[in-house]
């Protein structure tokens, strides 16, 4: 598959590295020197501007800060440039202390969108593309794990979207990094993924060991007769 990244930060570095050997990967960004640097380090197929990335990708990973997504769509050539593409939304629109949406006294809340979630906002901005939300629930270092195994158990990666074919392609990317894809439904469920990530981020920022909170060992399940 031709996979293009918009952005060359933490998440782009983690995910692009995992896919570069089996896919054609292109790194795009505002600073083409930084895009080239990442592309060379992972032996990607190419690098360049954001609009070149959009033109290249069958699947485009939105790897900018959540508040830069709309800007990135514009830089990519606007809504029509995304026609027929899969757009992978990995973003967490969350208010963090000191961040662009800091919310004194009540941080770590999802940023509100008229459409319901950022993923649905993206789908409204580029209706000719298929938006899938995934990879937002773990920090970049987890996506670098090869494979992401905890206590002998595979990491489950939750994803959602409205287009079955697009979700199938994202599921195969999840499997390719050694994780179990878990389809939680239509794109409307991105509201839950974005809200859940707020809890994860709040706990991470407080120094809590998430392993003990979210990755619970499954108790023995007794059959009901
Ligand atoms: N880091 C994590 O552990 C993690 C985990 C899960 C989800 N996420 C989500 O993934 C997204 C990316 O996070 P990250 O940690 O990779 O961020 P990051 O390291 O800060 O990288 C952000 C990238 O976006 C680019 N960018 C910023 N503003 C832009 C704009 N207006 N137009 C185009 N490009 C722009 C930056 O490059 P320039 O400024 O040079 O253009 C940079 O390449 C965020 O929404 C985050 O919530 C992050």
CB 105 within 8 A of CB 99: no
Q: What is the 131 CA–ligand 1 centroid distance (Å)?
A: 18
Ligand 1 mean position, distance from CA 62 (Å): 8
Can you read off the two tokens belonging to residue 43? 């032996």
pTM reported for the whole predicted model: 0.94
Closest CA relative to residue 29, chosen from 157, 179, 44: 44
Nearest CA to ligand 1 atom 24: 64
19-49 pLDDT, tens digit per residue, is 999 999 999 999 999 999 999 999 999 999 9
Cα torsion 80, 84, 89, 95: sign: positive
Q: Which residues, in sequence order, are CB contacts of 202 under 8 Å at separation 6+?
A: 107, 108
Q: Which of 66, 5, 10 is nearest to 193 (CA)?
A: 66
96 C-alpha to ligand 1 centroid (Å) = 14
Q: Residue 129: helix, strand or coil by DSSP?
A: coil
Distance between alpha carbon 208 and the CA centroid of its chain, in Å? Answer: 23
Count of residues in the chain: 225
Which domains does the chain possess?
Answer: 2-214 (3.40.50.720)
Give the residues surrounding ligand 1 with Cβ less than 6 Å away.
Answer: 7-12, 29-31, 34, 50, 63-66, 68, 71-72, 75, 90-92, 136, 139-140
pLDDT digits (tens, 9 = 90+) for 76-110: 999 999 999 999 999 999 998 888 888 777 899 99
CA-137 nearest atom, ligand 1: 6
* CA atoms of 163 and 171, how far apart (whole Å): 12
- Nearest CA residue ID for atom 33, ligand 1: 72
Taking the centre of ligand 1 as the mean of its atom positions, its distance from the CA of residue 88, in whole angstroms, is 14
Task: Locate all alpha helices (DSSP H) within 144-180, ordered by sequence.
Answer: 164-176
55 pLDDT more than 90? yes
The answer to whether 119 and 133 have CB atoms below 8 angstroms apart is: yes
Please name the residue whose Cα sits nearest to atom 15 of ligand 1: 10
pLDDT band per the 50, 70, 90 thresholds, residue 215? low
CA of 138 to the centre of ligand 1 (A): 14
Helices (H), 87-207: 118-125, 140-143, 164-176, 190-205
């Amino acid at each position: 598959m031709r996979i293009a990244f918009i952005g060359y930060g933490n998440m782009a570095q983690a995910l692009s590295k995992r896919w570069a050997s089996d896919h054609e990967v292109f790194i795009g960004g505002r600073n083409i020197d930084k895009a080239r640097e990442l592309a060379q380090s992972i032996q990607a197929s190419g690098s360049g501007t954001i609009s070149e990335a959009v033109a290249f990708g069958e699947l485009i990973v939105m790897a900018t800060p959540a508040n830069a997504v709309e800007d990135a769509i514009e830089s990519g050539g606007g809504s029509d440039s995304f026609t027929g593409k899969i757009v992978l939304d990995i973003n967490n629109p969350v208010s963090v202390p000191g961040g662009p949406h800091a919310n004194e006294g009540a941080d770590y809340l999802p940023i509100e969108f008229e459409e319901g979630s950022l993923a649905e906002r993206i789908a409204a901005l580029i209706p000719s593309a298929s938006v899938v939300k995934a990879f937002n629930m773990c920090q970049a270092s987890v996506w670098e794990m090869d494979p992401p195994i905890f206590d002998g158990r595979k990491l489950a990666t939750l994803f959602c979207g409205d287009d079955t074919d697009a979700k199938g392609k994202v599921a195969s990317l999840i499997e390719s990094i050694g994780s179990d894809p878990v389809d939680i439904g239509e794109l409307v469920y991105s509201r839950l993924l974005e809200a859940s990530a707020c809890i994860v981020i709040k706990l991470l920022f407080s120094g809590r060991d998430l392993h003990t909170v979210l990755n619970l060992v499954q108790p023995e399940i007794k059959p009901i007769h």
